[in-house]
């Protein structure tokens, strides 16, 4: 009688563990997406406060008269001033360099 129940209990434990793991993965993915959206919004707000236009898909094309080196210096200054977090700075730099 007990031998019949063990496979069922084992299957229930494995299935329950897989359910919890899948739920955590989905929750982490949603949190990451929300964080990235929040970072994009903050970068847009900072650019608008500085009088810049909203970011285009290709930042160098949006400001053809400003060399990439100058734009990197501006990003670095914002990062050092504390206006951008490390993650935001990395994301903006990646967009600028097309990475």
Three-class DSSP labels, the chain: CHHHHHHHHHHHHHHHHHHHHHHHHHHHHHHHHHHHHHHHHHHHHHHHHCCCCCCCCCHHHHCCCCCHHHHHHHHHHHHHHCCCCHHHHHHHHHHHHCC
Task: Tell if the pTM clears 0.85, that is, is over it.
Answer: no
More confident residue, 51 or 72: 72
Average pLDDT over residues 68-87: 88
When pLDDT is cut at 50, 70 and 90, the band that residue 7 belongs to is: low
pLDDT tens sequence across 17-40: 788 888 888 888 888 888 888 888
Is the pLDDT confidence value at 57 over 80? Answer: no
Is the pLDDT confidence value at 65 over 50? Answer: yes
């Amino acid at each position: 009688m007990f031998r019949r129940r063990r496979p069922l209990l084992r299957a229930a434990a494995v299935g329950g563990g897989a359910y919890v793991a899948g739920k955590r993965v989905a929750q982490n993915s949603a949190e990451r997406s929300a964080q990235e959206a929040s970072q994009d919004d903050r970068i847009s707000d900072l650019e608008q406060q500085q009088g810049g236009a909203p970011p285009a898909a290709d930042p160098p094309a949006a400001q053809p008269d400003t060399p990439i080196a100058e734009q990197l210096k501006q990003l670095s200054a914002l990062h050092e001033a504390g206006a951008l977090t490390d993650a935001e700075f990395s994301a903006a730099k990646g967009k600028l360099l097309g990475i």
